[in-house]
């Protein structure tokens, strides 16, 4: 049987506010355990929440960016359940009246087209703390770190509009680009700044009714998300083809061990006893506030792709990559500013730079080579100071901290030799030492001689320690070979 996959996502996005959603404690990542939890975060008796206006603005900016309906009023509710890292015994969240209503995000599809993914809504809520079940506490104890408790989140809920893992990942990347472009999220997935819950079901191709779905929670990398979907789809199809049925359940996927397991079934689900939080007033959104935010909205990824293509005439594929991350796009634009060849700048940024960063597990912000230096390096290729091959050496030098581009070129004597007299001599010397190669060249029929040039070029470049200008060498070599042909023919 042919199966069709239906995927919906719920995405938790940590908002990049300086303080928590209901308290003045810092949201900085990585502080000593419980050093960033104040009396409110600890749910001490008598403490009360005060809503962080910046968090509301960030949520509204997201709403504006996805062209969403934004209701005039939204309401916080209490979601009641007991867990040690949930200090109040309820999570303050939104249910019936979320801050952002229905919207849409357009993604590029594999066939080169586009597809609109509907956003059901996005709501504001607080994050819980962390429970630590291993470590120095012995098997008898669990430890609680409440630094994260109260960190503002928006939870974005899509309609089940995604059809496969690739689309889901494309959408996830697009969303990442969107929230980082807006500056409402730092986008650091390894730190949990974006977490994906994936709802997956399958149904016979052409069927109108949805199959029973499972939810795999808390996927914090695109790769794990893709793997989890692929595996879950395969599992569901196996179960159904064996005549079984899918049990609605919440699942966990361990990206390191590649093992997925059931966390709880529908029957074990809590009755959360939601009701409006009486400590917080309904949030009333004025048109003036929306207009102020709309006016200040930064460039969004789609607009950025279009602008990069237009202004720099770079390939669409490169523009997509560069525009996916506002910092990367800014980096590229700085590189382009320092050289005359934007296409080469795009190639180097998406190729060499990203490759090295990924290879060494570094963030762009941690790059040992800054955009200005990369721009200068590319300019040195353009102005023929160095060859592309030499440029890689210089790149390595800057990367390892040996100095700046021009300094390294000078100190290492990498400047390309373009003096034609010197190059004429060099080529002549190499030809003189290799009569057998010349014979071979001459014996080759004319249409195929081009292939034989590589051998001469290699020897010449080696003799010049790589410094010879390859284009020039190529011309001189052809000229000298030609004159040899003529002299022999005479």
Partner 1 sequence: MHNMSIAELGLGLRSKTFSSRELTEHFLRRIATLNPRYNAVITVTEESALASAERSDEQLRNGAGGDLCGIPVLHKDIFCTRNVRTSCGSKMLDNFIPPYDATVVENFADAGAVMLGKTNMDEFAMGSSNETSFYGPVKNPWDITRVPGGSSGGSAAAVAARLGAAATATDTGGSIRQPAALCGVSGLKPTYGRVSRWGMIAFASSLDQAGPIAKSAEDCAILLQCMASYDPRDSTSVERAVPDYRATLNDSVAGVKIGIPKEYFSDGLDPSVEAAVMDSLAALRELGAELVDISLPNSHLSVPAYYVIAPAEASANLSRFDGVRYGHRCDNPVDLEDMYRRSRAEGFGEEVQRRILIGSYCLSAGYYDAYYRKAQQVRQLIRQDFVNAFEQVDIIMGPTCPSPAFKFGAKGDDPVAMYLEDIYTIATNLAGLPGMSVPCGLVDGNPAGIQLIGNYFDEASLLNVAHRLQQATDWHKLQPGGLD
Q: What are the residues binding partner 1 (CB under 8 A)?
A: 39, 42-51, 78, 80, 82, 84, 87-90, 142, 144, 271, 273-275, 278-281
| Residue placing its CB nearer to partner 1 in the complex, 84 or 458 | 84
CB of residue 24 to partner 1, shortest distance in Å: 10
Residues 6+ apart with CB under 8 A from 136: none
| Residue placing its CB nearer to partner 1 in the complex, 80 or 220 | 80
| Residue placing its CB nearer to partner 1 in the complex, 183 or 282 | 282
- Residue 111 CB neighbour total at 10 angstroms: 7
CB of residue 36 to partner 1, shortest distance in Å: 15
CB of residue 134 to partner 1, shortest distance in Å: 16
CB of residue 126 to partner 1, shortest distance in Å: 14
Distance, in Å, from the CA atom of 122 to the CA atom of 260, rounded to the nearest integer, reads 27
The CA–CA distances, whole Å, from 441 to 104, 162, 474, 481 equal 64, 59, 15, 9
| Residue placing its CB nearer to partner 1 in the complex, 133 or 448 | 133
CB of residue 278 to partner 1, shortest distance in Å: 4
CB of residue 15 to partner 1, shortest distance in Å: 19
| Residue placing its CB nearer to partner 1 in the complex, 27 or 91 | 91
State the burial class of residue 341 (Cβ atoms within 10 Å of its Cβ: 0-12, 13-18, 19+): middle
SS3 assignment, position 41: coil
| Residue placing its CB nearer to partner 1 in the complex, 22 or 312 | 22
Sign of CA dihedral 323, 329, 335, 339: positive
- 490 DSSP 8-state letter: -
| Residue placing its CB nearer to partner 1 in the complex, 243 or 278 | 278
| Residue placing its CB nearer to partner 1 in the complex, 23 or 193 | 23
CB of residue 289 to partner 1, shortest distance in Å: 18
| Residue placing its CB nearer to partner 1 in the complex, 82 or 446 | 82
Closest among 338, 341, 339, 306 to 322, alpha carbons compared: 306
The CA–CA distances, whole Å, from 200 to 271, 401, 412 equal 23, 48, 57
387-396 own/partner pairs: CB under 8 Å, 24+ apart: 387/416, 387/466, 387/469, 387/470, 389/466, 390/414, 390/416, 390/466, 390/467, 392/352, 395/352, 395/369
CB of residue 79 to partner 1, shortest distance in Å: 10
Enter the tokens of residue 302. Answer: 């789609």
Backbone angles phi, psi at 162, to 5 degrees: -95, 140
The CA–CA distances, whole Å, from 21 to 10, 48, 51, 96 equal 20, 12, 6, 19
| Torsion angle defined by CA atoms of residues 322, 328, 330 and 336, in that order, rounded to the nearest 10 degrees | -60
Sign of CA dihedral 30, 32, 34, 39: negative
| Residue placing its CB nearer to partner 1 in the complex, 76 or 224 | 76
Enter the tokens of residue 472. Answer: 């020039």
The answer to whether 115 and 82 have CB atoms below 8 angstroms apart is no
């Amino acid at each position: 049987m042919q199966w069709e996959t239906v995927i919906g996502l719920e995405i938790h996005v940590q908002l990049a506010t300086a303080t928590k959603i209901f308290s003045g404690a810092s949201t900085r990542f990585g502080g000593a355990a419980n050093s960033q939890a104040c009396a409110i975060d600890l749910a001490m008796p008598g403490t009360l929440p005060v809503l962080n206006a910046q968090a509301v603005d960030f949520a509204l900016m997201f709403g504006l960016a996805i062209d969403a309906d934004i209701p005039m009023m939204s309401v916080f509710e209490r979601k009641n359940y007991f867990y040690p890292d949930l200090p109040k015994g309820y999570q303050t969240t939104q249910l019936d009246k979320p801050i952002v209503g229905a919207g849409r995000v357009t993604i590029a599809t594999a066939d080169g087209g586009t597809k609109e993914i509907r956003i059901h809504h996005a709501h504001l809520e607080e994050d819980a703390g962390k429970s630590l079940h291993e470590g120095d506490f012995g098997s008898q104890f669990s430890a609680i770190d409440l630094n994260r408790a109260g960190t503002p989140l928006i939870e974005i809920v899509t309609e089940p509009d995604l059809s496969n893992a690739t689309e889901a990942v494309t959408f996830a990347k697009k969303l990442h680009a969107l929230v980082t472009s807006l500056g409402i999220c730092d986008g650091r997935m390894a730190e949990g700044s974006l977490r994906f819950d994936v709802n997956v079901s399958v149904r016979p191709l052409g069927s109108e009714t949805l199959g029973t779905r499972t939810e795999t929670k808390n996927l914090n990398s695109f790769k794990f998300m893709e793997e989890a979907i692929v595996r879950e789809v395969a599992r569901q199809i196996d179960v159904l083809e064996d005549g079984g049925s899918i049990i609605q359940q919440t699942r966990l996927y361990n990206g390191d061990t590649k093992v997925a397991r059931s966390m709880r079934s529908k029957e074990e689900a809590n009755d959360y006893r939601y009701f409006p939080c009486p400590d917080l007033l309904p949030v009333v959104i004025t048109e003036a506030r929306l207009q102020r935010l709309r006016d200040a909205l930064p460039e969004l990824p789609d607009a950025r792709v279009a602008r990069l293509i237009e202004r720099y005439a770079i390939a669409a594929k490169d523009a997509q990559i560069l525009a996916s991350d506002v910092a990367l796009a800014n980096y590229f634009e700085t590189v382009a500013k320092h050289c005359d060849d934007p296409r080469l700048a795009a190639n180097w940024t998406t190729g060499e730079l990203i490759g090295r960063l990924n290879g060494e597990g570094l963030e762009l912000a941690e790059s040992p080579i800054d955009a200005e230096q990369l721009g200068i390096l590319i300019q040195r290729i353009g102005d023929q100071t160095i060859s592309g091959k030499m440029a890689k050496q210089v790149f390595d030098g800057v990367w390892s901290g040996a100095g700046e581009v021009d300094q390294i070129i000078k100190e290492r004597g990498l400047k390309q030799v373009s003096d034609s007299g010197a190059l004429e001599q060099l080529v002549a010397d190499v030809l003189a030492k290799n009569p057998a190669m010349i014979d071979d060249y001459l014996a080759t029929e004319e249409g195929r001689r081009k292939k034989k040039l590589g051998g001469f070029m290699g020897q010449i470049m080696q003799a010049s320690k790589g410094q010879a200008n390859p284009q020039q060498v190529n011309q001189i070599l052809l000229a000298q070979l030609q004159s040899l042909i003529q002299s022999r023919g005479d």
